[in-house]
Amino acid sequence: MSENKSQSCMAGRQSLQHEELSTLLKARYEAADQVRRGVCLLNAGRYDQAEMAFKRAMDHGCIDESLPAYLAACLLGEGKPDAAAGLFAEAVAQNETEASARIRHALTLWYSGNSEAAIQSLRDGMRQNPECAELHLQLGMLLTSQEKYEEAELRFTQAVNIDRDHTEALVSLALCCGIRNAPDEAVLHLQRAQTRRPHDARIGLLLAQAAKAARQQGHSIRLRADMPHDPGRDDRGIEELSRVIEADPDFVDAFLALPTERADERIFAMLLKTLKAALGRHPEHAELHYHCGRVLSRLGRNGDAINENERAVEIDPTFTRALIELGKLYQQTDRSADATTRLERAIAAGAEYADVYYLLGNLYRDQGQVTRARSAYRRALLINDRYEAAMEALEALPAA
């Protein structure tokens, strides 16, 4: 395969990745907006409309509270968060407890068709560890699948008694209340669950449905649902995403390639925080400083962007991408002499690219160095004889 064809194929793959990322981000923010809308409608007592808002949020398939963690999974799974779930699950497996091993064993029995053995395994586990809320929850779920709702509700109740903030136990308990036609009780449990996970569209939907049913039964319902916080402000997710980017900093390219009109400033603020977290662990990582500078530039903070890129070339004086970025930044901030020296250094370090010579020619021209400008444009055309901008710039120079 020729070099040009190879580069074309790579560009196609990158283009697809950027398009996927754009779609994922759009869906994530639209889902978050619908959840916030749903919460407002819940508190206003407009349960039908709240139900529709939460359904729209769920249609986007985004219920993870943490935007950074969601993006980390998407990047690792190449746009498929579910495919990357196992990567994060490995950390859980390393800290597996006796109860989690028991649950995993019981679920294996259940899915292999041995339901009674699965239930018995969980009962045995509860006898050994009666204060484990998760064992009660899992047993309740299996009993629910067998339509043994009365005992299942007892298990969920016990799970909540052990752990008052166990969100899934609260939701499951509410569903049991709904089955026995007690939506007013379901509302109480779901409101507690919603306080724990205000970002969760599923819980919001169930709360809207329970409140509507309770009202239809004549109950006076007054909700105070919590508003979810900004999904990008999450230390756990930032940590996960920072390690993904630390392993392959070029992932940042996927974000920076997003068209301005389709990108949200919150994305780049989150990305900056992520890069800062990675730099906190590796302050001498030149490439991280370079990418940090590019994000700062996207946020309009050119002075800070210059500082980060200067730090990158201080660590690695031959880092051509950072030198080229500095050339562009200094040119944008009317520091032509500094821009010129950085591009000259980039070329000396091996950046023999037509666009770099073209930019350098422009700087020479603007500083009145016509001979040097002519030489730079000609060099650009030797590398790429179809470079129209360089042709036009060369022809526009005054005669020698």
Q: State how far the Cα of 310 lies from the Cα of 341, in Å rounded to an integer.
A: 13
* Distance, CA of 215 to CA of 192 (rounded, Å): 19
Q: 5-47: per-residue pLDDT in tens? A: 333 333 333 433 556 666 777 777 778 888 889 999 999 999 9
70 near 64, Cβ under 8 Å?
A: yes
CA distance 339 to 320: 13
* pTM as predicted: 0.63
pLDDT at 234: 59
pLDDT at 236: 66
The pLDDT value recorded for residue 85 is: 43
Residue 68: what residue type?
Answer: P
Give the per-residue pLDDT at 1: 34
Contacts of 340 (CB under 8 A, 6+ apart): 327, 360, 363, 364, 367
Beta-carbon count within 10 A of 14 CB: 14
Q: What is the pLDDT at residue 91?
A: 40
Q: Residue 59: how many CB atoms within 10 A of its CB?
A: 13
Place of tokens 């209340």: 177
User: Which tokens go with 134?
Assistant: 């998760």
Q: Counting Cβ atoms within 10 Å, is residue 148 exposed (0-12), middle (13-18) or buried (19+)?
A: middle
The tokens describing 84, both together, are 């990357």
Ranges of the chain with pLDDT below 70: 1-22, 61-97, 230-237, 259-264, 400
pLDDT at res. 273: 87
